[in-house]
Structure 1
Amino acid sequence: MDKKTQGAWIVNHAEKLKTVTNADNEFEQINFAGKCGVLLSSLSADDQAILDEKKVGALARAANINIRTELPAFLTELERQRLISKGSNAIEVLGMGSGSILEHASRIFEESEPESKELAVIELAERCSDLPMDESVAKEYIGDSYKLTNKSVNDLFHNVDCIGFVDSEEAYSGNKLLFNGNLFRGTDTKKAYSIISSMSTKDASKINELNDMLTKDGCVTVHTAKQLLGAELLEKAHSIALFDVNSIGNESGQHEFVTKPSAFNKYSNSTVEDAFDLAKAFVTSLTYGMTSSAYNRGRIQMITALLDKLIRGEWVGPATAIGQDYQVLELKGVVEVEKAFGNRCRMRLLKREVGRLALQVITEGDASQNSLESLPSVSATNYKAPEHNRQLSRKNQTVTMKRNIGEILNQLRTGSI
């Protein structure tokens, strides 16, 4: 696989390691390189920049990096890679985009001399992105490819399952199938057809209707999707990533909406873009500005003109909404926000590639403005990505539900694709 894709899986796996106690010691180089990538994404912009110590600490905390025990080591490594230069009270960061950041994460990983098992879990994840794999076949392949004993392979697959590097379900036949949330991020419609053709006529009709709705409108609320599919069918489809569920909200609670996994694939490599979920978070925040903000606080009326100005690197504002509706993007290092006067703030875009992708998605369909009007009227102060929500949903499934999903995956694996 290319370095960007490898870097994306390193970041993905590092995020998964956050949820499991002591698992980072088992996959130490993945954890280190992945967190370096996440930190670099937060610190870097398109142009070279100088960040003071306070801002570096704030961005690190927002990325769930411990500033006392982890940050110094990550900064030392980024300096060794000549990506930053440390001063007494500030750092200078080279300008770079997401693709370059993933390549740097891949290089940090490779230079750390990773163990065979770490290389194995990255390749396993990539292979399970294409089609579900029978676990016995996957074990044989990994064992032969990385010269691992049977015990080492069994221990590795146990850890993979516990951490969630890949997901697994058992079909009624007893076969254990391995897959992950990237199954439907490409544009190959044969996979979706294979799944839909295995369903009852009634369920297939409902899935097709939701697919058509999303193709036309880009996104719908989870409430709308549940009304159409029913809770159980939506959960099945969500579990295998046939649909994505994005979560946004603030102190008033979480609000969820459904999108197609391939919505961004038209404009980018989804595996690479999904490593940081920056464009999705940007589209979400812009949605609030277009549909929820009152005119007197800075409601967006000319989205194309606004984005064009941001992409040129210019400041926009001042407006009250800017200080409230773009906190997620500020914490991820996508925009810079500063006070102008009173409660009014202005902002500029630090990662212009994210703005260009958001502009395409908003103006060319797959997340068009008319569909975004269904989102809730609250200021976005947090964003939970589709993979986080999918894993949360899987933890709450019954045994019967898991077996049904296993059968769907078996159909996908053995279907005429």
Structure 2
Amino acid sequence: MEKKTKGAWLLAQSRSLDGYSGAGAARLENISYSGKIGRLYNLLRRHSDEASTFTISQQIIANACQLNGIEKSSRQVGLQVLKEAGRIDVAKDGSIAVLGATTQAVLEATAEIFEEQRPTGDEKAIIDLSERVSEKPVKRAEAEEYIADTHKLKAADATSLVDLSRMTALIDEEGERGRGILFNSHTFRDGKYAQKAFYVLEQLQPAERARMTEVQEKLTNQGALYDADVERLLGKDLYIRLVSVGIFDRMEVSNATESVGYISSPADFQKFGRPFEEDPIDDAKALLASLTYGQTRSHNVRGRITMPEALIRKLVMGEEVGNRGVRAIGEDYRELEARQVIETTERSPGRFTMRLLKKDVGELALTIVRGVSAAQEAVVMDGSPARTFKGPDAARIEIRPKNNIADRRFIHDALDRLRSGG
């Protein structure tokens, strides 16, 4: 497995493990450890100009880590590890000098840190199996046999490891015990979306097939759709099933009074290769969501976005946006500040400008935005400031427990068709 692929899995899986403290957590501690350091490095990195060095104050680093679930002990250890690896310099006042780094540099550094910890067979097996089921779903029995043989695990340990991966949401399973099929959120993000979507289309009734195709065409033209409109077009049952199996991504933007979702396609970033490796922790999706909100719901008096493509291009070029200050910039992009994707500056009381800290994130978001009319139906909220963003993995995990028997049968059958190649 390439370093960047392994690094992407470590970043994604460490986030899932953040919320898990069960007895089995120690089995995957090196994944959690290295992935968290990789996430810290991603927070620190700036524009992908490898010849440039950026200095970040100790307070900014502390605030960013607190907002991203990286506690003080992990921050201190992580900074030391990154310093020893030659990725950063730490000044006496605690500020950090970062040599410009790309997403690929973060992924490769994370994989190297993982290997330095001498990972266990369990940990190697989880990453291997995650990649395997992202390529196509796998029968649970076959998966257990595979990781037992490949990583020299006892049969009982292989079984309990798959159970652990389900509890921590690293891998999902559909079907009754003995005939379960394993899959994950990246099944449709491997560059083969059209082929896999075709297998799902084949099992639909003609009317359902037409509705699914209509939504796909709208997404191609608009980039994102308000999820209530997609549910209306598909019908509630088909909507839940297609989101649950992963053929559509549901994302969510929240403000102080409500949370509203929109739908995009896992195929959106495929012009860059494997979308998972290009945006492993959803920074570009968060940027897209925030800009969509600013375009569709922010009032003119606050600073409404009217030309999203031009705005992102300006950010990607390294220019500051906001002229002499815009109120919405200080209110709607707090999630992006927390992720260290943008930096805002208060130019006068309550009025802010912003600049992009991660050029490659902006370039990815630009692949979704299509002209000045992109995603007009994407987010319908009440006009108050946007606060948080929820990525497709978290949204799908919330939907899955609501699946009824018919939903689960559909998902199992769809996965089985993908597994067997139609």
From 88, 95, 100, the counterpart of 1:84: 88
What does the per-residue CA deviation read over 1:280-316, in whole Å, with 9 as the maximum and x for residues that have no partner? Answer: 1111122233333333332233434433332222222
Cα distance in 2 between the residues matched to 1:269 and 1:404:
27
Change (3 A) 1:414 1:302: closer
TM-score (norm 2): 0.92
Q: RMSD of the alignment, in Å? A: 1.9
Cα distance in 2 between the residues matched to 1:51 and 1:370:
34
The reply on whether 1:227 has 2:232 as its aligned counterpart is yes
The CA deviation at 1:174 is 5.4
User: Which residue of structure 2 lines up, in the alignment, with residue 50 of structure 1?
Assistant: 55
The reply on whether 1:390 has 2:396 as its aligned counterpart is yes
Match of 1:102, SS state, is helix
Cα distance in 2 between the residues matched to 1:302 and 1:385:
24
Matches within 5 A, 1:9-408: 9-22=9-22, 23-46=24-47, 47-67=52-72, 69-89=73-93, 90-170=95-175, 175-185=179-189, 186-317=191-322, 318-363=325-370, 369-377=373-381, 378=383, 379-408=385-414
Q: Which moved more, 1:401-410 or 1:177-186?
A: 401-410
The CA deviation at 1:399 is 4.5
Q: Report if the CA contact (8 A) 1:43-1:59 is conserved.
A: no
Q: Which moved more, 1:45-54 or 1:348-357?
A: 45-54
Cα distance in 2 between the residues matched to 1:243 and 1:373:
16
Q: Report if the CA contact (8 A) 1:277-1:385 is conserved.
A: yes
Identity %: 32
Structure 1's unaligned 5+ residue stretches are none
Q: Report if the CA contact (8 A) 2:225-2:377 is conserved.
A: no
The CA deviation at 1:356 is 1.9
Structure 2's unaligned 5+ residue stretches are none
Cα distance in 2 between the residues matched to 1:219 and 1:328:
19
Letter of the 1:21 counterpart: S
Residue correspondences, number: 411
Displaced runs of 4 or more, over 6 A:
none
Q: Which moved more, 1:204-213 or 1:329-338?
A: 204-213
Letter of the 1:73 counterpart: V
The CA deviation at 1:395 is 2.4
Q: Report if the CA contact (8 A) 2:329-2:344 is conserved.
A: yes
Match of 2:271, SS state, is coil
Change (3 A) 1:380 1:48: farther
User: Which residue of structure 2 lines up, in the alignment, with residue 411 of structure 1?
Assistant: 417
The CA deviation at 1:87 is 2.4
Change (3 A) 1:309 1:403: closer
The CA deviation at 1:259 is 0.9
